[in-house]
Amino acid sequence: MRRLPALVLTLVAGGAPAVAAQLLLHASLSARYSSTLVHDSIVTPLDVRPAIGPALALSADLPLSGPWQLELLTDVGTSSLERHDSDGSTTAITRLWTLGLAVGLRRQLHPWLAGRFAIGALNYLPAHSVGLFSDGSGGVMPYGTLAFDAAPAALAHHQLAVEVAGDLHKFLTPALRSIGFTDSRVVYRISAGVRVDLLGKR
Amino acid sequence: MLLALAGCALACVEPMVPDHAPTYAFTDAFGDVFHWPANRLPVRFYAEPRGNLPALVAAAVDAWQRQFLYGEFSGTMVNDSSTADVIVRWGDSVPPDAPPDNGPPVRACGGVTQGVLDSSGAAIAGPFETQIQILTGTVYTAGQVQACVARTTIHEMGHALGLFQESPDTLQDIMGAPPRVDQPSDGDRRTVEALYHTPPTLGPPPR
């Protein structure tokens, strides 16, 4: 264990500038769709899901051996949480934020196409502790994400890329559990947007 | 895209939906249904500023609000009775403020809520009016009276939400008459949920 501080010092003193030189920072802004969080039936069927909303992600790529890069990812999204009744009506419940932190691997698949997968922790942060979030959000839940970004020459020239991402997690809150839901629901989210290189180049 | 397809496949395994069947009737004597529509939320509650009535009403509104999972109902307190949808007053005397007694419930108080139909018979004519009364036939402690007015206020606000009937289960449900429990039960929750997902036949009072 005593070797660890020495290793860290070596990285800081000697390796850090080299690593920093190869560090790539990206930001992406996208529109995100989420599948249904809750399907229930009270007299008639209803679904609860977030509306399509904006998502902002920041990622840092660190070089690894071979074609792979280590990617650290943070992702914030917001949208209105809505109830959809079977008669077609929609009712807003509250504003919902999500915060995700993930670590994954990334590589170039073609000169103009890159892909990454990551796993991490996702938290739902409702603006108000009401309804299905009245007893909390259920805490941090694991999630997995997969993304591809394409940078044709015209976009790459401006350090831009088009990004498509998807992720999966399970969803259940204490309030839902207290009324009899026993199983989590698998939720997927899909986002599409623009990715920009903030530091370094592809 | 593979991830999305996998997610779709997994999402097809639906979690079991819990039982939401109501446990008692919520219509009025003529079979009419009333609940506050989405465009009238939050419902405005006024409590006359004597004793701890505003706190009791606020707690009752909160107790009912917590029964809903999907944004069906919300309420707010207002200071002006002329803008209120529900007006709550003491029937006569104001009980002294004291910590509620945790012992067996006693009938130290009563309540009544009235909603009058308009001339068409298809809508409520004005604000619901509730009175909370202290019964004087027997002497109870201040704590027993406070416990009684707390559960009776929740019971009466249940009527103002549209639960027009009493529950036959007086041991479990806050809508039992007289109420013997401190909070809405699972049966109360299922019944008020069903009410707010049933098309109303009576409209709300005008604002």
Given pLDDT bands bounded at 50, 70 and 90, which one contains residue A7?
very low
Query: Could you please report the per-residue DSSP string of A46-98?
Result: EEEEEPSEEEEEEEEEEE-STTEEEEEEEEEEEEEEEEEETTS-EEEEEEEEE
Domain contains A53: yes
> In this predicted structure, what is the pLDDT of residue A66?
84
Residue A143 structure tokens: 């999630």
Secondary structure of residue A112 in the 3-state scheme = coil
**Of the candidate ranges A11-25, A178-192, B135-149, B178-192, the one whose mean pLDDT is the lowest:** A11-25
Domain contains A65: yes
Domain contains A13: no
Complex prediction ipTM: 0.82
- The distance of B135 to chain A (nearest Cα, Å) reads 36
Q: Which of A40, A92, A167 sits opposite B17 (nearest CB)?
A: A40
Interface contact B24, partner A, CB < 8 A: no
Beta carbons of A74 and A101 less than 8 angstroms apart: yes
Give the number of other CB atoms < 10 A from CB of residue A93. 24
Domain contains A7: no
Q: What is the DSSP letter of B93?
A: -
Chain CA centroid to CA B201, Å: 19
A96: left (phi over 0), alpha (psi -120 to 50) or beta: beta
* CB burial of residue A47 (10 Å; 0-12, 13-18, 19+): middle
pTM: 0.84
Domains of chain B with CATH codes: 38-196 (3.40.390.10)
Beta carbons of B45 and B77 less than 8 angstroms apart: yes
Q: What is the CATH number of the domain that holds A120?
A: 2.40.160.20
Domain contains A59: yes
Given pLDDT bands bounded at 50, 70 and 90, which one contains residue A5?
very low
Helix B142-161 vs helix B53-65: crossing angle, to nearest 10 = 50
Domain contains A153: yes
Domain contains A106: yes
Domain contains A47: yes
- Domain extent for A116: 22-199
Secondary structure of residue B103 in the 3-state scheme = coil
Q: Which residues from B are below 8 Å from A40, CB to CB? A: 17-18, 20, 69-70
Q: Which of A41, A83, A186 sits opposite B71 (nearest CB)?
A: A83
Q: What is the pLDDT of residues A68-122, one digit of tens each?
A: 999 999 999 999 999 999 999 999 999 999 999 999 999 999 999 999 999 999 9
Block means of pLDDT (10 residues each) for chain B, length 207 residues? 51 78 93 95 97 97 96 96 97 93 95 95 96 89 96 98 96 96 96 96 95
> In this predicted structure, what is the pLDDT of residue B12?
56
Given pLDDT bands bounded at 50, 70 and 90, which one contains residue A21?
low
C-alpha A187/C-alpha A181 separation (Å) is: 15
- The distance of A174 to chain B (nearest Cα, Å) reads 11
For chain A, the domain total comes to 1
Tokens 């990715």 found at: A195
Q: What is the pLDDT of residues A112-155, one digit of tens each?
A: 999 999 999 999 999 988 899 999 998 999 999 999 999 998 88
Element spanning A168, H or E: strand A160-171
Query: Could you please report the per-residue DSSP string of B118-133?
Result: -TTSSBB-S-EEEEEE
> In this predicted structure, what is the pLDDT of residue B8?
52
Beta carbons of B95 and B133 less than 8 angstroms apart: no
